[in-house]
Structure formats: structure tokens, C-alpha cells
Chains A and B, each alone.
Chain A
Amino acid sequence: MEKQIFERPTITKLNPGVPSKHGVGTVIAPMPMVDGVKVDELLDKFGSPLYIISESTIRRNMDEIKRAFTVRYPKVQMAWSYKTNYLDAVCRIFLQEGSWAEVVSGFEYDKAIRNNVKGEHILFNGPGKSAAELEKAARDGAYIHIDHFDELFLLAGICQNKNIEARVAIRVNMDVGIYPKWDRFGFNYENGEAWDAINRIMANPKLKLMGLHTHIGTYIMTAEAYRIAATKLAELAYNIGNKFNHHISYIDMGGGFASRNTLRGAYLSADDTTPSFEEYAEVITSAIINSQIKPDKLPTIILETGRALIDDAGYIAGTVIANKRLSDGRRATIIDVGVNFLFTAFWYDHKIHPTIQHSGAVEETTIYGPLCMNIDVIRPSLMFPPMKQGDRLLITRTGAYNNTQWMQFIATRPNIVLIDKDRNAHIIRKAESVEDVANNEVIPKHLE
């Protein structure tokens, strides 16, 4: 018989009678493996903490979203949102799956080119494009999504002076009945600014209006908002066709599909509240199909979905550094994953699993990161089994934004591994060293 693992005793309030509205209590299942690979072995091999990315999950998600849209609409194109995760290996998986690239800066643009994305498969978003970047994108045939009039004028000037053509779309913001209303990006639909921009573009022979773009927000938990957005864009597209006899090639619905991470402070688990791809697909495609656009002029739907495709493909595995008891008697566990590596801890209640079996008893625990900062809280409060120093745990759904918005703060960043479909782990980003961080620093002569 296998030796029992010692678990320190916990005190749990006894709840007799019928379960309360919170149900019968929390069960935290252990998660010893990711895609059939033992987390403990990965940690032994690659060190702790460790980012783990599941290739098959990414591909499965792509499959699911493509299926949801293509069974409903004839022309659908995915564009990988670089800012969500621009690790080259990840981008190339999306490229293999047929995605284009959606970039929001010159840096991301260059990364996409590095990853063999053709210029004409890049959507260039964002409010901060420089003149040089605009010129490069125009020459490459990328789709420049114009954000404001100053950019429009800048681009028009470049095209005029250099005698080049640019493929453009405008980003449109609108009221889709949700809060917050994202009106800081693009041209407003309701006040006619969008038409103003369209008229100017159509009058400029150097600018080719290829599509319309919107991005109604992030983590949108109601599919209905997309119906309103798609309806408005389809109407705009139809009217452009009517006015200029010019039929745009695509409607870019942006991103914003919610992932299954529960937002901090949410009452219900995201597993229950997040709409499925099917629901988003149904409202978007039916809004465009049911618009006045003629069937042979239907534009391609472009989706810049980021978070919903990668969140659940990413994990961070870590190790318990210490346990302590807080002044109010609550348990606190300190782990080696801080908010510098898990930036999204500020937004989500990430689900955390121990890697080994435990007795099933849980107690209220706060999980802190290792940083010497008060804000370094991974979970303020959760029911969690008692952990010992050195125990491993796995934080789930960390694929989105954590490899782009991470901070190099008081520590170097750890390895990132990718588990392929044959259960092989590949390092896709090596752990940083002090040199990696300090090499770009220059010491003035008088300080040498």
C-alpha cells in the first residue's frame, strides 16, 4: 500500500441541514498533468515557476471557432491578436491554422513579418502608428485600420508624397448597449464621424477602402452586443455600396469574446455565464446575412479573437514557498508566482489546482506571490486544500496577456514550454538571465 501523504489538519465549519445557496462546498480537484504530461516532471526539468502552453488546446479552440462561424457564413477569416500572446511559437500555430495577424504597433508588425505572415495578411490596428510604420504597411499591402482623422491625414500625405496606394479600413465605435462604451478608438457611428471618414477616403484615389472594423470592448459577456455592432456595420457597408458603388471586402468584428476565466467580483462562475462561440457566431452571422447586403456582395467576416482562443491553453505551474497565518486567523500561502508573471490576477479569479491528490478538506486561504509588494495577491480568498512548503500547484487559464503584459520586476522571467500533440515539451522561450536584462544598460564613464 502506498504511503499516505501527511496533510496538516484544518478546521471547517460544519453545515448541517440543506445546502446553502453556495452549494455543498468546494471541491478542488488535483491537476497532475497538462495534456498528458506530468506537471511535476516539467517543473523538475524546467524549473519553477514555469509557463506551460498546450498546442492542442489552441488548435482545438481554433477548430471550434472556425466551425461555429463557417457553418453559418460562407467567408470567415481569423486574425491572431498579437497583443494577446506574441510568442513566436504561438503565433506560428495560429498561422498554421490559417490565421492572419492583427497587430497594434510597429513592434508587433515586425514580429508578424518575422513569423512569415505576408503583408497582405496583416491588419494594422491601434491609435499610435508612426509615419514610417504607416508607409511600410502601405507598401506591404497590409490593411491599415485608421483610428482618427490625424492618422487619416498623415497616411493620405504619405501616399501623396511617395506616390503609393494604401489599403485601409476605418475603426468604427458605436453604442451597442453595453457599458463601458468604448468611444476612444475609431470614428463614431452615431454622430456621423464614420461617414465623414468614409467620404474622405472614398474621395482619395490613393486610399482603397477595404473594410470596416469595430472592437466593441473586451470580455463582452453578452452576445447581443455583437448583433447590434454587426447590424450597424452591415448597414454602413450597404450604404457605402449604394453611395459609391463600392463593395467593401470585409467586416472586422474585432475581438472581445469572453474566456472562461471568472472575473474578479463576479457572482457566478464564468463557466456558466460566458457565451459559447456558437452564440457569438449566431448573432454576428445572422445580423450580416439578414442585412440588406446582396448575397453575392457579402463581405468576409474577420475575427480578431485573442483571449477566448488562448486563455485556457496557458498554465503557470508554481511551488509553495511558505504558509502563514494572518492576523485575522486566515491562512495565507505564498507561492513563487507573482503578479509580475501573472498580470491577469488583477482581473480574474484564476482557478488553481494542486498537482497531487489531497484529502478533500479545504479552508479559506489567501494566495500571495513572492514579491515584496502589497499588491502581489494571486487570489485574495479561496477555499483551498492545505499545502505544504514545496508542494506544486497549477494556475489555469493564463494564456492571454500574461506573456505580453508581464513585468520584469525584481526577478527574471522563467521558461515557457509548449506541449505538442505528441506530449513533447519544447522550450519556446528560455528563462532570462541577469545579462538578458542588464545587457542593454549603459554605464556612463564616470560611474565605471
Chain B
Amino acid sequence: MNKNALSEFSKGLARSYSQVFFSENYWFAIPLIVVSFIDFSAGFSGLLAALSANIAAKLLHFDESTTQRGLYGFNALLVGLGLGYFYQLTLAIMLISIFAGFFTFLLTIVFQGVLGKYYLPYLSIPFVLSVWLVLSAGWQVSDAESNPAGLYIINKIFGIGGLKLVSIHEWWINNVKWNYLNSYFTSLGALFFQLNIVSGVLVAVALLFYSRIAFMLSIVGYSVAYFAYGAIGMDLNLLGYSYIGFNFILGAIAIGGYYYIPSKQSFFWAVAFTPVIALVTAGLFGIFKQSGLPILSLPFNIVLLMLIYSFRFRVKQSDFKEVLVQEGTPEKNLYSFQSFTNRFPNYGWTEIKLPFFGEWFVSQGHNGDYTHQGEWSAAWDFIITDKNQNQHKNNGDIVTDYYCYGQNVIAPADGVVTTVEDGVDDNIIGEVNTAKNWGNTVIIKHTEGLYTKLSHLKSGSITVKEGDNVRYGNVIGKVGNSGRSPYPHLHFQIQTTPYIGSKTLKYPLFAYIENGKHIKTFDYPEKDSVVGSISAEPLLKSKLNFKPGTKLKWSITQNKTKRTEEWEIHNTPYNKLYIHCKATKSTAYFINDGVNFYFTHFEGDKNSLLYNFYLAAFRLPLVIIEGNTTTDYLPANKTFNGWRLFLHDFVAPFYIYLKTKIEVKATRIGSEFDTKGFEYNSIITGYSFQNLVFIKNFKLTINANSTISLVDTISETEAICEPY
């Protein structure tokens, strides 16, 4: 095994420990491994089982990334821990641990397959089933004896932390009599089959440093259960010593922070589901009393799967949102989600543009005064006006006086023509044809359940027929005055069915310019605004369109010292493009949607040039309007660090007060026809509430000769990228 493979393997092994808390952080694994060895017997057999599962996954060529994320190891680990906890560590138990680890691994694969079909996680179900099996089988093994470790806790503690830790432990036992707290720590320790306070404290501290939100949730879940049990007069110790307390802790973390985006709502549901877990726990107790099997994490597993599965059938999404791209910590999920949903609320939506060239006036918008009401409220009427807001020349007595009459109507997006109605004559100005309400109409299907309808066209002007494929920009007809149209205008609506007269669907238009100044993406043209289609600067469109395999070689000058950095463009199996810098282990994901270049995500070294590039190019408009400033907000966890972010994490699910604003101004270098490049001036300001914390300023120049320069004007660092 080479060095690289070994490090990947050890990462997978370490993450098997972190995954118990849904984490992929291998630093977080270190204290957890230490804790697991407080009871050496449990720790060792746990390690054996985890090793067995990870080696099996590796040798049998299971998916590498899943293995590395520790997802194949943690169930086996827990089984091993359980074995070592229940039985004294003997050779037989060691062997059983190895086979139980392998067995649990196979069981994990089975549940991954079965539950995966429903996009559900398998959680620790393999562990529960496997432990039951080995516990029931355990009695058959001849030299298996119950583990007395619980009795010799002092010895173990001495083994780890010497006299000092023992004295702290003594002090705790004698002075901290608060059952609430002790029971909390015991519950945390019990996760690793370490039923002692020291383990619990260590796990709690590790959890706090791994994730503030998860830590808070662990307390929330536990406290609700503790007080609920107290209120109904049930045995409090039941929570700690029969290994059920962690059900509430894991449940709260999973619901409040891991499978759902941390928010007020997620905290609410974390609290609300605690009694449900308690109910299930109580019920399972009754059921399993006879068999003598521990219920372990079964209640939490059952409730969480039910919750995830059933909540997907909600008709209307509330603010309780499932995590779609799992980044590993509640904080990351939260910051990314907030940033991403604010920036790309319509990510992946069909790009429907304006159905014409040039600038038109919106004479009736959604919920208009005249006809866009009720089921037909999400529609637009477009006309052309002159400077004096007149829509016609002369007296406007005949249709040809109207500026929009006879203008080309184009397909607003690629699609197939599904319906064409032609042959309705133009009305005399002021009259309407209610018999043929929509007049001459073309309906185009863009994707399943997404159609656009263009109405009141000029008779005989329609150039497409049913079944024609159209691309964006193809002329489909001309503006007329047919149907319920007292004066020439273009009626445009989006609907879910291919029929004339269908109700409208509120769906935004992809990109347009409003009143000659503002670039709008996925927005709704408003009444009385002038809207026009836009096109990106060809130079920017091509130069910022990084293709996989492209290498960017930078030379960086700072304080007269020179260094280089090399990046390469890659893409993921899901076709997400990213820039990777091997030397600094940094990765930045980007999107170029033809209107803007965006960075969506950054992971890695904040001292790297790539990080500066991520900041400077967080959002670059490709459509240049002189004097315009583009504003966006960077996620707090990518721009703040240290104690500021640590404290902020505690309130982040409820209120974001660390804000990083980026303002970008673009200027053209050279002339319109002979553009030498574009310079983006990005000013990044970080605020804590209203107080300025930091300011950064970058000048990013995209040159026609394919070079890029990035100047950090504050640290006076200049980086130049060779032509690519």
C-alpha cells in the first residue's frame, strides 16, 4: 500500500468514529478514539471491527469516496464497541469483532441499497441488528465473559490522564451532584459504550469544537427529554444507564442540524420530535423486555427515518428544509444554504427569456388591472412606447400606427410548438373579440409541465406549425391585434398545460435588463417598466468559461518576492466545475450562466491565491453597464474566522450578524469594438452588526490576450496568470 492509499485508508477509519456524530471531520475523530479506549476492551474490539469493515470495503472495491467518508465503518465500529463492552476482551471476542465488523459492513451495504432507493440514510440500523445478533450469539462462545470494566473506572482514567485526571474525576463525583448534568455526560459517553462522566465531558468538548450548533442541539434534545421524563415522573437514570439518552441527543442533532438546515424551524422540530422519540422508546422497551435485547439507538433511527420520509410529502415547503448537498457540519450546511438560496433561488430552473428583441414596455404585469386576474394573473402584456410614453404614432386609429404592431415575436426558450391557432382577424382599435379570446396564439413546450403562450398575434404571420422544434430567438410570428385585444400588444404567459385558455403559472424570466440599468435574473418584469433582452460581452463569456483540463499558471509578486501557484479546472461526476490548487489543497466551485460568473463554494487554505480569486470573482457580471455596481454577499464562514465565527455559530441558525458584502464595478479597457479587456474592481467589506471588521480590495483584469491579473490593493500583491 503506498503512502497516499494509506492516508486515505486512515481517513476512512478515523471518520468511522466522527460519523457517529454525522461528521466527516477527522480531527474530531481523535478525541473520540481516545474516549473509546477509556474502556480498552470496548475500544480495541471497536477498532478491530472498524478496521475489518474498512479493509473489506477497500479490498472488495466498494466506492472509494463512501469508504473515505467513514460511511462503511461507523456501524461496524459501534458493533465492535458494544462487543468489547459487553464481553471481556479475549482472543475469541477479538475474532468475533473482526467477523462482526465484516458482517455489519455487509449489512450496511444491504441497508444502503434498500433505504437508498427512497433516498433515506441507513443511520445505525445495521449496528442495532448486528449487535442483537452477536449478543444473542455471544452466549454460545465458550470463553466469553462479561466485561467488568465498568467497575474499574478509576484504573482506566488513571491509564489515560494519570493522577491528575483521577483527582478531577474524584472531585466531580463528590461535588457535582447535579443529576441533569451527569446524566447528560453519561449519555454522550454511552454513545461509545463508555458509561462514565470523563468520556462524556471529553465527547462534549470535542463536539463543541466540531460544531457549535450540534453541541447546542445535543443539549436541547437531552434537556427536553430530561425534563419531559421528570414531568411525568419517570426514572431519570433510565436515560443514562440503559443507553437511551443518546437517542435524544442524536435525534436533535440529526433533525435540528444535520439532515435539515439549522434554523428556528429545525430547532422547533428537534424539540417537537423529542417526545415522539420518548414515546417510541417507551414502546420498544415494552416490546423488547422479554427478549432482553437492548434497544440502543433504535428509537432515534425509526423516528428519524419516518420524519425524513414523511416530510418529503409536504405539498408546500416551509422553512424547514432538508439538506440537499451534505457538507459535513451543520454550520457549513447552514452558511452554504443561506448563501446559495439567497444567491440562486432558482438554480436549475428553465431559462425562459423575453419573447422579443429590443426594449419593450410592460403595459400589464402580474395581477394587472385589466385582464390578468384570478387564474390568469401571472401574465404579461408588452407594447413598445416612444420617449413620451406613447405607444403609437399619429392618432392611433389604425393598428399600423402602433409601434409594436408587426414586430417579430420570438421563441422565449428552446422547445417544441404544441399548439397553433391562426386565422383570427385583427380587431379595429378599441374593439375586442371575446369569442376568440386569445386570438392567434402559439404555445411552446419547453419541458414537462412548462409551456409558454404567445397571444394576439397578427393573422397569417405565424411561421411555425405544431410539432416544430424551435430554438430561443427563432421568429414564430408577428405582433397583431387579434382576440381580446383592444390595441396591438403581445400577451405572454407561462403555463403548465398545452391548451389555449389554461391558467397561468408564476414562473420567473431568466435574464433581462430593466429600464436600461438593472440586470435582472430570474425575476418578474413589472408593470410600467421597460425591459429588454441582454447579451453578455463575448470576451468575458469566453475568457471566464474555464473548461475542464485547463491549467492556470500564476506568478505572484509580494514584497518583491516571487512565487507561483498552479490551478487546474476539473468537474465532478455531477458536472459541477471547480478550480483546484494542488499545492494549497484548495478548491473553488464556479458557475458561468451567461449573465454572471459566480463562485459558489470554497474549501481549503485561506492564504492561497485561489481564495483571493474566489473573493475577487465571487460574482462577476458578464453584461457590462458602465457605472453599474453589482452587489452580493459572501458566506460568513468563508470570510470570518476565529472567535468571531465561533460565537456567531451559536446564533447563526436564528440570526446572521456577520455579513460580508462584495461590490463589483466593471470597466472596459479599450473601446467597444476593440476591447483589450475588462477590469473588475471588487470591494469586500465584512461587518459584525453595523461595525466594519475588515475590508479587502481586489482589481481583477480579464485581458483579451487570455491573461488574467489579480491585484490585492491592500496587501499589494500582484498575481498574473499566463495565457490559458
Is B679 interfacial (CB 8 A cutoff)? no
- Pair B674/A141 contact, Cβ less than 8 Å: yes
CA distance A63 to B393 in the complex (A): 12
Per-residue 0/1 for A245-282: is the Cβ within 8 Å of any B Cβ (1 yes, 0 no)? 00001100000000000000000000000000000000
CB distance from A208 to the nearest CB of B (A): 7
Q: How extensive is the interface on chain A, given as a class?
A: 20 to 34
B residues 368-406 touching A (CB-CB < 8 Å): 384, 386-388, 403
Is A139 interfacial (CB 8 A cutoff)? no
- Pair A70/B674 contact, Cβ less than 8 Å: no
CA distance A423 to B403 in the complex (A): 27
- Pair A72/B358 contact, Cβ less than 8 Å: yes
Residue of A nearest to B408 (CB): A72
Is A235 interfacial (CB 8 A cutoff)? no
Per-residue 0/1 for B327-362: is the Cβ within 8 Å of any A Cβ (1 yes, 0 no)? 000000000000000000000000000001111100
> Taking chain B's interface residues, is the majority helix, strand, or loop, or is none over half, making it mixed?
loop
CA distance A50 to B358 in the complex (A): 39
How many chain B residues touch the partner (CB < 8 A)?
Answer: 22
Question: In the complex, which residues of chain B have a beta carbon less than 8 angstroms from the beta carbon of A59?
Answer: 387
- Pair B674/A120 contact, Cβ less than 8 Å: yes
- Pair B538/A296 contact, Cβ less than 8 Å: yes
- Pair B358/A71 contact, Cβ less than 8 Å: yes
- Pair B535/A74 contact, Cβ less than 8 Å: yes
CB distance from B142 to the nearest CB of A (A): 79
CB distance from B641 to the nearest CB of A (A): 43
Is A67 interfacial (CB 8 A cutoff)? yes
CA distance A202 to B388 in the complex (A): 46
Is A167 interfacial (CB 8 A cutoff)? yes
Is B118 interfacial (CB 8 A cutoff)? no
Is B673 interfacial (CB 8 A cutoff)? yes
CA distance A74 to B535 in the complex (A): 8
Is B407 interfacial (CB 8 A cutoff)? yes
- Pair A71/B671 contact, Cβ less than 8 Å: no
Contact of B358 among A70, A120, A300 (CB under 8 A): A70
- Pair A208/B674 contact, Cβ less than 8 Å: yes
- Pair A167/B538 contact, Cβ less than 8 Å: no
- Pair A73/B357 contact, Cβ less than 8 Å: yes
Is A49 interfacial (CB 8 A cutoff)? no
Question: In the complex, which residues of chain A have a beta carbon less than 8 angstroms from the beta carbon of B535?
Answer: 74
- Pair B407/A71 contact, Cβ less than 8 Å: yes
- Pair A71/B386 contact, Cβ less than 8 Å: no
Is A134 interfacial (CB 8 A cutoff)? no
CA distance A406 to B395 in the complex (A): 37
- Pair A250/B673 contact, Cβ less than 8 Å: yes
Is B473 interfacial (CB 8 A cutoff)? yes
- Pair A249/B673 contact, Cβ less than 8 Å: yes
Contact of A71 among B357, B387, B538 (CB under 8 A): B357
- Pair B673/A74 contact, Cβ less than 8 Å: no
Residue of B nearest to A299 (CB): B673
CB-CB under 8 A for A167 and B357, given A60-B386, A64-B386 = no
CA distance A377 to B533 in the complex (A): 52
Is A186 interfacial (CB 8 A cutoff)? no
CB distance from B68 to the nearest CB of A (A): 43
Question: In the complex, which residues of chain B have a beta carbon less than 8 angstroms from the beta carbon of A63?
Answer: 386-387
Question: In the complex, which residues of chain A have a beta carbon less than 8 angstroms from the beta carbon of B473?
Answer: 295
- Pair A67/B384 contact, Cβ less than 8 Å: yes
A residues 89-141 touching B (CB-CB < 8 Å): 118, 120-121, 141
B residues 667-711 touching A (CB-CB < 8 Å): 670-674
CB distance from A168 to the nearest CB of B (A): 11
Beyond A59-B387, A72-B408, A118-B671, list 13 extra A-B contacts (CB 8 Å). A60-B387, A64-B386, A67-B386, A67-B403, A71-B356, A71-B359, A72-B358, A72-B407, A74-B535, A77-B672, A120-B671, A167-B674, A249-B673
Q: List 24 A-B contacts (CB under 8 A).
A: A59-B387, A60-B386, A60-B387, A60-B388, A63-B386, A70-B357, A71-B360, A71-B384, A71-B407, A71-B408, A72-B358, A72-B407, A73-B357, A120-B670, A120-B673, A120-B674, A121-B671, A141-B671, A143-B673, A167-B673, A208-B674, A211-B673, A249-B674, A296-B538
Interchain residue pairs A-B with the least CB separation, the first 3: A71-B358, A120-B671, A249-B673
Chain A residues within CB distance 8 Å of chain B: 59-60, 63-64, 67, 70-74, 77, 118, 120-121, 141, 143, 167, 208, 210-211, 249-250, 295-296, 300
